[in-house]
Structure 1
């Protein structure tokens, strides 16, 4: 039996904003190595470039080394895109898109364990917003299979982003790095990060969310080191302390875990462990979602509560809500 932080499970779904990272995709489609991490995504792109013969063999060898050794994968990614783009410095047309499409082909056939996606959809149904650093659209594919009107958004479409931020696109998923099908919307080039965050209106709307919603990070080991995330949220929003954010992490090593916990608390983020093994992640998310969805919305009759009450107390009917409240 696991304990959950009361401050987290007592949140209403509509007060939460989920930030999903590679951990979610890795749990859902373990058969696609490119989904497991930033590094493995780049390695898969290099493989695809070699197979499609769109990168010189010498460059292939050099990039393979860089991906293993280099600390800053963003720079490696930028160089890789540049090698596959016109020499004029334009981003279109480029072979990078073909490599990504090769890597992420037929995603719908690779959904093996949709538990986490089911949980995310359950929260979305109740008003939780979703933002992702992932290039894949596994959540949207799965949601459509369940009959939900899913929509993938990226930061280029300003009007859509503003609609999403004001809660008008219930099943919208904002990809802050763009989507693999449109890699020019993908923010890989460090200069691209600046463009994304230069529109003051978009920036203000996104930062406002960080001050009005509790962010819950799922499968986001790398997100807090992500430059776009730092530029938009982490280092630019002042007075964050009024609101709590939460981050689920793997506790592989006690010292590292407690150090991360102390460091993140400075940013107003409570770090919580889902277990000491990645296999525990989907079940934890499922249980956590069930706890959050049990909460009764203030002043509304809630189907879940009614069902639970009649289940708990045998025949007790749910109490009527006083409409004058």
Structure 2
């Protein structure tokens, strides 16, 4: 079959997780539920850390940024997937696909950097507790987050710009629920060696670098915890980083599992299903992992809920008062009209 080299394509087709029509209503309900839980959970974390003065510390500053990145990470793919299922139209425009590539890489790599920054924060808190407030000052925290944003934004801009040089053949079907850069490269007809090199170097530097930092931080943390004499002190030190360690383990195990399994399987839909773990499930679980065993955060959430309930009661009282006033006005108007008649 003769291939047509068409660089001016206008659309791609996202095949999604499954092409079976019987699965579509279930997938729509499941992913809508997970997306709403992700939005609600991470928004509560952000609001609690911003409004509660007890949480104005480096750890919760980084956590709020991670929650924001998780919201954006899932929002880069899930809304379009839900629209495609609902409308039974799997088409995505060329511009929309490149935009998905940009934001999916941006917030995926940003998650990676923020987890490394949080590991460094836990390293300083456990290994250098007396100098923690001096080292983790406001300026350093801001620079760490800003550096993470700038680095990931430049990488994402480079990767998506490299995708613009690709020309595509007649097969424009992407066996995924999101425009993933690797899938675009596989569909390209022209030489993809520059794209492959950029992707590999980015994976090593921006993926392996933060992971190496996390492993180094936790090696020092484990050494410091082992040096603590009392079992209560060891438990207290470990509990300060247990949530972060669980999130890191979940994120990297699912991420590495996806890309290692994709090397041994030819079923692209299986890779797409596995990608759900790190791109949807992990952002959804992060708020629960950080809040369930965190007394400070749970206390802040309880105070936030109380304020919301009080505001809700005041709103109800205001609407009730307004409603009664309107009834009174209507009654007075009726009496006035009756008197005139």
TM-score range, shorter chain: under 0.3
Q: Which has the higher strand share?
A: 1
Q: Normalised by the size of structure 2, how large is the TM-score?
A: 0.25
**Larger Cα-atom Rg:** 2
Q: Which has the higher helix share?
A: 2
